[in-house]
Amino acid sequence: MDVEKRPKHLAQLQALAAIGQCRLMSLWDSLFTHLRQPIAQILLTRNDIADRTRYFNAQNTFHALLEQGVIPIVNENDTLAVSEIKFGDNDTLSAITAAMIHADMLFLMTDVDCLYDKNPRTNPDAKPIEVVEDIAALQADVSSAGSSLGTGGMSTKIIAARLGTSAGVTTVITRSSNPGNVLNIVQYLQSIQKGNTPPSPDERAEGLSRSASALTLSNLNGAPWPPLHTRFIPANDPIRDRHFWLLHTPHPHGTLYIDSGAYKALVGKAGLLPVGVIDVEGNFAQQEVVRLVAVKRRSTPGPDGKMWEGTPEEVGRALVNYAAAEIARIKGKQSVEIEKILGYADSEYVAHRQHVGFFKRDSRPVSPAREINGAVME
């Protein structure tokens, strides 16, 4: 295209992305044709799955393709996406896709073999981290060891691993320059899951020879067994489909501050009543997703005019039955008063319990404005 420098204007960047997507898919199609493997292209933006109906439509499309033996190649739709609706990185996109299709495994490829307890570039004695059961503890350990999670985009892979494992997906970080490692690691993990002794290098080379390419087999020679990688253990109580959508795909449009009584009631499977709402922030409509922040209620307004005190703690998300302006009028009131105040009553609940999701304690944000990536439904 005779473009010497990266364009500065969004329209020019997106035009080049449209050109590049055609060429990239042409290359993918050529490669897979040699294997007689049909493929399909799916381009997504966050807006495509922020809507519940479109989310499940995308999920159904994935399932239909896989049932027909078609491999979907997924990418962000850079020709349409702007900063407000971008996933931001392919790691997050891959984790959301893996959760959407109920994948068994998610591989996050990078420029290092695995995670280390120290930065291997500056610490020769750094040791590989083979298995991670607690991502929150991993982040603390790695930070205290002086490693930089931001190097090489590793922080986004940790976030993606949190997303994947919360949905029950075994997530693996390994080196991208050794593509044969993917097959080797899958075989190794399958052996572990079956309680069998992992095969020797000679046995696995023989087993793969019928289907693996020459490139894959060449990577087996002299390779460590098992290949270096970090495996993130999936949650025992994974979140699925509607609950995963609620917690991870829509951008929250506002915040509801709820008291401890309302929080306990929600944990006890009750819905969110207006009497438990202390304050409202944002300008949102009915059936939009908002943050739920637990605070301690004051008997009288404080110096700042607020009816709550203490450090706000985001505990989950909710799909609300009333708009922000309506909730502001009925907050702290009994449900029987809703019709008198608003002139109508669509529901006795601000949010039904099935439309409320809670984050795990070790993955809550430090402030209501921060994005959350690890969650569980009560």
**HSE (side-chain half, CA atoms, 13 Å) at 193:** 11
Confidence category of residue 213, pLDDT binned at 50, 70, 90? very low
38-47: average pLDDT = 91
Lowest mean pLDDT among 94-108, 165-179, 182-196, 267-281: 182-196
* Structure-block tokens of residue 88: 């931001």
- Taking CB atoms within 8 Å and a gap of at least 24, the contacts of 93-96 are 93/44, 94/160, 95/159, 95/160, 95/161, 95/163, 95/164, 95/167, 95/169, 95/171, 96/49, 96/163, 96/248, 96/249
Q: Where in the chain is the domain with CATH 3.40.1160.10?
A: 1-88
* 121-157 pLDDT per residue, tens: 788 888 899 999 988 887 534 443 333 443 347 888 9
Please give the single-letter amino acid code of residue 27.
Answer: L
pLDDT value for 58: 94
SS3 category, 276: helix
284-313: average pLDDT = 87
DSSP state of 49: H
What Å distances lie between residue 185 and 111, 205, 229, 374, CA to CA? 17, 13, 8, 25
β-pairing verdict for 39-44 and 308-319: unpaired
* 149-194 pLDDT per residue, tens: 433 478 889 989 999 999 999 999 999 998 889 999 999 998 887 7
Residue 2 and residue 79: Cα distance in Å, rounded? 19
Q: Where in the chain is the domain with CATH 2.30.130.10?
A: 252-363
What Å distances lie between residue 333 and 213, 273, 328, 341, CA to CA? 67, 9, 10, 9
1-88 sits in which CATH class?
A: alpha beta
252-363 sits in which CATH class?
A: mainly beta
What angle do the packed helices 241-248 and 52-67 form, to 10 degrees?
130
> pTM, whole model, 2 decimals?
0.77
* Structure-block tokens of residue 105: 């495994």
What Å distances lie between residue 320 and 154, 274, 288, CA to CA? 35, 11, 6
Answer whether residue 3 shows pLDDT above 90. Answer: no
- Taking CB atoms within 8 Å and a gap of at least 24, the contacts of 133-141 are 133/233, 134/362, 135/161, 135/162, 135/165, 135/232, 135/362, 135/363, 135/374, 136/362, 136/363, 136/374, 141/117
Confidence category of residue 196, pLDDT binned at 50, 70, 90? low
Please give the single-letter amino acid code of residue 273.
Answer: L
Residue 256 and residue 317: Cα distance in Å, rounded? 9
Q: What residue spans of 68-122 are helical by DSSP H?
A: 90-100
Residues above pLDDT 90, as percent of the chain: 47
44-61: average pLDDT = 89
* Structure-block tokens of residue 208: 């793969």
What angle do the packed helices 154-166 and 135-144 form, to 10 degrees?
160
* Structure-block tokens of residue 140: 């603390």
Short-list 162, 179, 22, CA closest to 94: 162
Residue 131 bridge partners (DSSP):
231
Answer whether residue 218 shows pLDDT above 80. Answer: no
pLDDT value for 142: 47
